[in-house]
Amino acid sequence: MNVVLADQIQHKIDFKTKPTGALGMLEKLAFQIAQIQQTLTPELKKPHIIVFAASHGIAAHAVSAYPAEVTAQMVLNFLNGGAAINVFTRQHGIALLVVDAGVNYDFGKNEKLIDAKVGFGTNNILTSPAMSAIECDACLQRGREIVGDVRATGCNVIGFGEMGIGNTSSAALMMSKLLDLPLEDCVGKGTGLSDEQMSAKLAILHQAMQNHADLDNNPLRVLQTFGGFEIAMMCGAMLEAADRGMVVLVDGFIASVAYLTAFRMHAKISQHAVFCHESSEKGHEILLRSLNATPILRLGMRLGEGTGCAVAYPVLQSAVAFLNEMASFESAGVSNKVA
Ligand SMILES: Cc1cc2ncn([C@H]3O[C@H](COP(=O)(O)O)[C@@H](O)[C@H]3O)c2cc1C
Ligand SMILES: O=C(O)c1cccnc1
C-alpha cells in the first residue's frame, strides 16, 4: 500500500468543509475508490453491469417457486429491456450486458446476447458434481475474457448480476461448505417458497450435501461441485476486474457467494469490492458479516440480476463527487477549529 497517498486521501476527506466523519459511509467509499485508482481525484468511468444467465439441473426438484423455463424467458426479457435491471441501469446511465453462460435454450444468433455457452445447464447437484473441471475452468476463463473486453472500452467500475432458476440452492450449498456453517443458516426462500416448500428445499440440500460428503472446502472444487455456470463465470469476472484495478460492485446473495469463492482464491479482491446491498434472502446477512462487509443499502430487495449494484451506484457517484468538488476549510475560508 502507498502509505503517503493513503494519508493524503484521508487528509483531503478530513479537510472538506464538514465535521470530521460527517459524511459517514460516503467517506469510506471515497477513500476506497481513491485507493483503488491510486489518485486524489478518482473518476467513475463507463459503468457496466454484466448479467450472467444459466440453467440448473437441481431446478427439477421444485427448489424454486418458479419453473426452470423462466431463466430463458428472463434472458429474452433482458434483451427486450423489460426487466428490473434494465430499468435501473437505464435510470443511472449504466451499460448492461447479458451473457448466456449456459441456459437450457437455443437463442440462435442474437447480437445483443453474449454467447459464452458452456453447456445447456449444470448437472443435477443432488447426485452429481455440477460441472466438470474443464467446464469450471472454461467458465472462469470466459468470465475473465468478457471483463477484459469491457475494460478495454475504458470502464473502471463494474457490477455483476445473475439469472438462473434454482441458483439460491447452489449458492446456499457453496456458502455452507466454504464457511463451514449449517445449511439452516444458508438456505432461504429464494423466489418466495412457502414454509412447507422451504422445508422440502432444505431436505433436498441436506441430501445433496450428504451425497458429496467427501468434498473439502477448496474453492475451486466447491464451485465445480455445487456452482452454476453463471456463478463460476461471475467468479472469474470478479477476479479479472480486481486484477485490472476496477471497482467491483457486489450484488445480493448469489453474487456474494461468487465473491466469497473468488476471495478464497485471491484475497486481494477485497480491496476492490463494494458491497451494494443486503438482500433479504436468508444467509446474506451472515455471509456479509463473515466477510466483515458493510452493505450500502438495506432495502429488503431479494431479486439478483445486479439490481442492488444499479440502485447503489449513485451513492458511489456522490462519494466521488464530494471528494472532487467539495471545498476544503482552507479554500472556503471556514474555520476548522473544534470549539
Ligand atoms: C421472474 C423472475 C425474475 C428474476 N430475476 C432474478 N431472479 C432470481 O431468482 C432466482 C433464484 O431464486 P430460486 O433459487 O428460488 O430460483 C435467480 O434466477 C435470481 O436471479 C428471478 C426470479 C424470477 C422468478
Ligand atoms: O439476493 C439475491 O441475489 C437473490 C435472492 C433471491 C432470489 N434471487 C436472488
Active-site annotation holder among 43, 69, 305, 325: 305
pLDDT of residue 211: 98
ipTM over 0.95: yes
Please tell me the predicted confidence (pLDDT) of residue 338. Answer: 81
Q: Is the CB of 166 under 6 A from ligand 1?
A: yes
Decide if 135 is catalytic.
Answer: no
Instruction: With H, G, I as helix, E, B as strand and everything else as coil, classify residue 277.
Output: strand
Whether residue 283 has its Cβ less than 6 Å from ligand 2: no
Q: pLDDT for 238-254, tens place per residue? A: 999 999 999 999 999 99
User: Which residues lie closer than 8 Å to 53 by C-beta, 6 or more apart?
Assistant: 71, 74, 75, 78, 98, 99, 100, 101, 103, 162, 163, 164, 230
Cβ neighbours around 111 below 10 Å, total: 6
- Percent residues over pLDDT 70 in the chain: 100
Is residue 254 left, alpha or beta, with left meaning phi > 0 and alpha meaning psi from -120 to 50? alpha
Determine the Cα–Cα distance for residues 306 and 249; give it in Å rounded to an integer.
9
SS (H, E, C) 140-162: HHHHHHHHHHHHCCCCCEEEEEE
**Atom nearest to 161 CA in ligand 1:** 20
Q: With a threshold of 0.90, does the pTM exceed it?
A: yes
* CA end-to-end span of the chain: 35
User: What is the distance in A from the centroid of ligand 1 to the CA of 163?
Assistant: 6
Under the banding of pLDDT at 50, 70 and 90, the label for residue 1 is confident
- All 3 cell numbers of residue 334? 471556514
Ligand 1 center from residue 12 Cα (angstroms): 43
Please name the residue whose Cα sits nearest to atom 5 of ligand 2.
302
State the distance from the centre of ligand 1 to the C-alpha of 24, rounded, in angstroms: 33
Q: Is 164 in the pocket of ligand 1 (CB under 6 A)?
A: yes
Condensed to tens digits (0 to 9), the pLDDT of residues 33-47 reads 999 999 999 999 999
Tell me: the pLDDT tens digits for 181-219? 999 999 999 999 999 999 999 999 999 999 999 999 999
Question: Which residue, by CA, sits nearest to atom 9 of ligand 1?
Answer: 191
143 CA distance to ligand 2 centroid (A)?
Answer: 20
Tell the residue nearest (CA) to atom 7 of ligand 1. Answer: 303
The reported pLDDT for the residue numbered 337 is 82
pLDDT per position as a tens digit, 62-81? 999 999 999 999 999 999 99
Helices (H), the chain: 3-14, 24-37, 70-80, 84-92, 133-151, 167-179, 195-211, 219-226, 229-243, 253-265, 284-290, 307-325, 329-332
The confidence score (pLDDT) of residue 339 equals 77
At 194, which helix (H) or strand (E)? none
Q: Do the beta carbons of residue 117 and residue 139 sit within 8 Å?
A: no
Domains and CATH numbers, the chain: 3-42+323-332 (1.10.1610.10), 48-313 (3.40.50.10210)
Report pLDDT digits (tens) over 151-168: 999 999 999 999 999 999
d(CA 230, CA 286): 23
Q: Do 54 and 121 form a contact (C-beta atoms < 8 A)?
A: yes
Q: Identify which ligand lies nearest to the alpha carbon of 71.
A: 1
Looking from the CA of residue 279, the nearest atom of ligand 2 is 1
Q: What's the pLDDT score for residue 335?
A: 92
